Structure 1
Amino acid sequence: MITPIFEITQESDFLIISIRVPYTRTSEFDLYIDGEDFKFYAKPYFLRLTLPGRIVEDGREKASFDVGKGIFTLRVPKETPGEPFEGLQMLTSLLAPKGSRSAKPLVEETVFSELSGECVAESDEEDFDWEVDQEVQVEITEEELGRLYKYGFGNQRAGIFTRLQDELSDVIDVKSPDSTSAAERRQGRLAAETAKFEPDHYLADLFEDDAVQNVLKYRPWWVEVESKKKIKEEITQGHDGGEGAMFFSEEEKEQLRKFSNKSYLLDKKATHQVWISLVDIILAYVYEVRVTEGEKNVESPWNIRKLSGTLSWLETYNSVQEVLVSFGRRVLCYPLYRHFALIKAAIEDAAVIFELGKVCVLKCLLDIHKVFRENDPAYILNDLYITDYCVWIQKAKSKKVRALTEYLKKATLRKSDLELELDELETAAQLVKVEEEEEDSRQAARYRESIPESDSEEDSEEDDGSSSSSSSSAETDECSSDKEDSLDRLQSCVLEKASPPRAANIPEANPVTQHLDCEAGPRGFPLSQPMPRKLIEELGDQVCSVVRISEQPEGTDSRGCDVVQGERDKPSVQSA
């Protein structure tokens, strides 16, 4: 904890305590007032005072905070009105823990305990004092500040991290920024990015990019604003810079009222760096909004500050191209989605925001300010950069914003510019992919060749067997059909032979005529008349042994009739 610089004055009925806490969250102050004890906490500052008189918390106390100066002022009523408090200028005495002002003997008599073998003090044992010692903070002189390196908005800050390094080590990546030059910061940033780059992660997002494609399809809020702006321009046939297409929320308006009205005296070089660093911050913001689809989470502060070299390394850039290269490298090294298409999409989004004008840029900065304000310890970045940007952009010239828009639209960023050997990495990955596909094809071919020939022959035999079975089945069906026809003819002829004697007077006909008569059946004799079953079975067995399928189209019926005629003359039939 840091002991802040403080000052105490008094009135007849009130004690006035002024505490300087320039780099703290304005929304979080803790006070403890109890008689002579006064405690104040606002991370990373802690102040504990032991007052020469008693104060009381009865509702008359008042507190105020000067954001511009970073001074917290508290008016606390005295318990006894009109009582003078002496020694308010003795700061060291006020910081001493309660009870530490009494002197103790430098030498104490001790007795040796025979039972325990320990030295025991004769004085009563005192409770352990858990209160930490405090030291008055000494401000850095102008001469010392001149020897420190600058950072922050317009490179106008120095000495902040001298005492806050331990508390803010999780916010920035550069160690000891007050003693690190801009060139050393850049070298450290490039080395850290190169060490952090993971080819496997990059290739995984490159070849399995379903999630990335969904992110690219998302339409952030500034795209909707741009659409409304175009519609309004078509109606009014004018240009308002996009400012009429958007409005500030009540929360944003309240935050704007809290900002102090400042004037910034920046030289030409500092102004140039302020504009370029603004592009860097906006790029980090639009990436965060796109990948989270507008839903902020606990990682949002980390994403924004990590993707911005300005916020994470206190980097100062000399051109927009340097910003694009730095942003591209960090996108491929730190966040969850690491795809070159996301870099290009972020550049296009930033161009849209600057095209919409200062109001849109200010809206983005207010959103960043809120994200950092609600995060510990990222709030320090508001004091270093974002708050000043929110005030400064309101007075900036619109033509500068339009100039950045044109530059971003025309900007080109190649993979080779990032110096991460992306082209070589992708080429090697494609070759490996082709080799794996060829190896898979060879393994499939070897597997097909390793199948035993007997299995193939069995399959062929099964196919042949099924074909022959089909043929046999067809032949059997055809034979059965022919057999049924022959049995019908035999039945007709037998019935004719068994007809009454008058059938003998019918003149004998030639074979063809007789064959026709056999098919038609004798007149006056019903075909449905029953006949001996044994005779039919014997005739059927003989027909199966004689009947064959003839390939000749003609004469089949006459041959069948001849067979029938021959069967009629057999003795077995006669005896039947």
Structure 2
Amino acid sequence: MITPAFELTQDPDFLTVKIRVPYARASEFDIYFEGEDFKFYAKPYFLRLTLPGRIVEDGREKASYNTDEGTFTIQLPKEVPGQYFEGLDMLTSLLAPKKSRSAKPLVEEIAASAELSEENEEEFDWEMEQIPYEESTPPLQHPYGFGNLRSGVFQRLQDELSDVIDIKDPDQTPAEERRRKRLAAEAAKFEPDHYLADFFEDEAIKHLLKYKPWWIDAHKKMTALQGESHQEHDSPAFVIFSEEEREQMRKFTNKSYLLDKRSRQHAYLGLIDILLAYCYEICVNEGDKNVESSWNIRKLSATLCWLESFSSIHDVLVSFGRRVLCYPLYRHFGLVTRAFNDTVMILQLGKAAVLKCLLDIHKIFMESDPAYILNDLFITDYCIWIQKVKSKKLAALCESLQKTTLSKSHMGLELEELEAAAVLVQEEEKALKAAGTVSKQQLLCSESETSDSEESSSTSSSETEGSDSDEQESSTSEDGEINSFQGTLQEERTAPLIDCNGLRQGTDTSAVEVGDGKSKVSLQSTTPPGKLVEELEMQIHSAMRLSEQPEGLATAGCISQEREGSPVPKPDRFSEDAAGKGNFLEVSPKPNPLLFLCSTNED
């Protein structure tokens, strides 16, 4: 037989059961209901439910079939109109447990004794100090898993599980030794530089803290509705399961857990630890799943990673805070506080919200290899067990969690001292920078004062030089003025020389000297004497000679002299200046002979 997909809803007078049975014959189906029992059969589908309230058959019941969707919709009258049926979305708990085929079961649950015992027991003090647990099992069989109900698993799967948990050989490691090793590993892993980097450069952290998961809106709706009416509202009004999540619940095998008081305490505290890690994962990835999601959840939860069994809520919070500051990418205490607040909201929404988170964790681990083994050790049992937990138990757990305080000093990592030291270092650096700026400004001011004094001294010296220059000018006027031809020769000396072949020669190959006592024209070359120097000397002498000849003769003479290779005679025409002081070379007022020579040669 196949268990069909089903869904239960209610109103004040009726309980509605919607069953999806595709490809079934609508004409061949049976329905039976009485009290808390409901049975449905349509070949090959069979469904049997144990309802949380009583229903009656009084003629108001209705049933309909939708051929397009292949669904039966059955309305059943409530025995007590207005009664609220709690836990209609806990599908696994609604499926009746399978009866044993043996004549007498070895362990029998009579009249839901486990639930009755929880119902009648006194209120649990979550803050009470616990006596260290004395191991009663054999040394090689230390328990772990949900409610400490498993042992010996890692002896068979040590190779597969070495990447899933941090504790080595947990079957031979007592709980106290696991805790000591965990604390030592966290202390060794803590990196002050990483923590301070996230503490001071927290732009990314602030962005992540703005993300709002689904439970924030659901919690706001619940709070607003409770403010309008003081009546109690169950979380299914605010928490909706998807069809995939419903299918997950239908696949679970319904079973009961016989837990003593201490085992139930470990189960509740482990649930908080797992929810804290899950809330951190959702916040830092903004609701998206990636390849690191499985690692984040199991690494931040000491329950999953170290098989830890906590004794108080404060120990759970301290363990989670330390692991957040040691292992993941973002290590900020603000993320610890955010995960704490989110866990409180989830617990306040009720077991439906808790179950929705556990189903998501179950899916993440199922898609991760080899983290799926954690589903068998913890998550699957939590998904089944939470559906049967009374709402008032979660409310008491949430209230105790809210009363627990957590600060940086509880981490045992000297966070406040690190932050204070880092702030002092920053202040010293700012002070040094400020001092450096002031000294730089003082240096600039002193340099400006020095420059001002230098300018004043240069001004006085320039005045002195001005008086000296006046005296020199007067003396020069007495001796005679320098002829303007000296400036012409200076221009020719600095101008580039171009030979008759169009090649540009260096500007420092020749110099013309003019003396006061006598006129002298000489060639001084910085390069070794050679043919090139002789040719340049000939060209200059030719230019001086041709300056006295007509333009036509100059061209012919230059060409003939170059062809014959005869030297040009040195000029010997000198005359006195108007003042009769000093000799100068008389040059006709024509264009530059060198340029004229080159232009004529190119023609």
Matched, 1:297 2:279: no
CA distance 1:188–1:144, shift in 2 (3 Å)? closer
Alignment correspondent of 1:341: 334
The superposition leaves residues 315-374 of structure 1 with CA deviations (integer Å, 9 ceiling, x where unpaired) of 000010100000010010011111111111111110000000000000000000000000
Matched, 1:411 2:404: yes
SS at match of 1:262: coil
CA distance 1:437–1:390, shift in 2 (3 Å)? same
1:446 alignment partner, one of 422, 433, 439: 439
Distance 2:401 2:293 in 1: 24
Give the counterpart letter for 2:443 in structure 1.
S
1:214 alignment partner, one of 207, 214, 223: 207
Q: 1:149: how far off?
A: 0.7
Alignment correspondent of 1:328: 321
Q: 1:259: how far off?
A: 0.3
The superposition leaves residues 409-446 of structure 1 with CA deviations (integer Å, 9 ceiling, x where unpaired) of 22211111110011111111111111111111111122
SS at match of 1:314: coil
Give the counterpart letter for 1:192 in structure 2.
A
Q: 1:144: how far off?
A: 9.7
Matched, 1:190 2:183: yes
1:311 alignment partner, one of 304, 312, 318: 304
Contact kept, 8 Å, 2:274 with 2:303, in 1: the verdict is yes
Alignment correspondent of 2:354: 361
Distance 2:430 2:156 in 1: 59
Distance 1:423 1:146 in 2: 41
Distance 1:302 1:279 in 2: 18
Alignment correspondent of 2:255: 262
TM normalised by structure 1 equals: 0.54
Contact kept, 8 Å, 2:365 with 2:372, in 1: the verdict is yes
Contact kept, 8 Å, 1:284 with 1:308, in 2: the verdict is yes
SS at match of 1:433: helix
Q: 1:147: how far off?
A: 3.9
Q: Structure 2 unaligned runs (5+)?
A: 1-96, 99-135, 456-603
Over the aligned positions, Cα root-mean-square deviation in angstroms equals: 2.3
Q: 1:237: how far off?
A: 4.8
Contact kept, 8 Å, 1:145 with 1:159, in 2: the verdict is no
Matched, 1:170 2:163: yes
Distance 1:313 1:240 in 2: 38
Contact kept, 8 Å, 1:226 with 1:242, in 2: the verdict is no
CA distance 1:454–1:439, shift in 2 (3 Å)? closer
Q: 1:452: how far off?
A: 6.6
Alignment correspondent of 1:548: none
Distance 1:305 1:249 in 2: 25
Residues 137-156 of structure 1 aligned to structure 2 (within 5 Å): 147-156=140-149
The superposition leaves residues 273-324 of structure 1 with CA deviations (integer Å, 9 ceiling, x where unpaired) of 1001100000000111011110111100000000000000000000101000
Q: 1:458: how far off?
A: 5.2
Contact kept, 8 Å, 1:284 with 1:303, in 2: the verdict is yes
1:394 alignment partner, one of 365, 369, 387: 387
The alignment-based identity, stated in percent, is 58
2:244 alignment partner, one of 251, 255, 265: 251
CA distance 1:184–1:455, shift in 2 (3 Å)? same
Matched, 1:158 2:151: yes
Contact kept, 8 Å, 1:145 with 1:158, in 2: the verdict is no
Residues 497-576 of structure 1 aligned to structure 2 (within 5 Å): none
CA distance 1:367–1:435, shift in 2 (3 Å)? same
CA distance 1:331–1:404, shift in 2 (3 Å)? same
Give the counterpart letter for 1:397 in structure 2.
K
Distance 1:357 1:234 in 2: 17
Q: 1:457: how far off?
A: 6.2
Contact kept, 8 Å, 1:288 with 1:304, in 2: the verdict is yes
Distance 1:341 1:149 in 2: 36
SS at match of 2:328: coil
The superposition leaves residues 129-151 of structure 1 with CA deviations (integer Å, 9 ceiling, x where unpaired) of xxxxxxxxxxxxxx997741110
Contact kept, 8 Å, 1:262 with 1:391, in 2: the verdict is yes
SS at match of 1:240: coil
Q: Structure 1 unaligned runs (5+)?
A: 1-67, 70-142, 463-576
Contact kept, 8 Å, 1:185 with 1:315, in 2: the verdict is yes
Alignment correspondent of 2:372: 379
The superposition leaves residues 52-89 of structure 1 with CA deviations (integer Å, 9 ceiling, x where unpaired) of xxxxxxxxxxxxxxxx99xxxxxxxxxxxxxxxxxxxx
Distance 1:241 1:433 in 2: 52
TM normalised by structure 2 equals: 0.51
Distance 1:194 1:454 in 2: 55
Distance 1:460 1:154 in 2: 90
Residues 114-153 of structure 1 aligned to structure 2 (within 5 Å): 147-153=140-146
Q: How many residues align?
A: 323
CA distance 1:188–1:447, shift in 2 (3 Å)? same
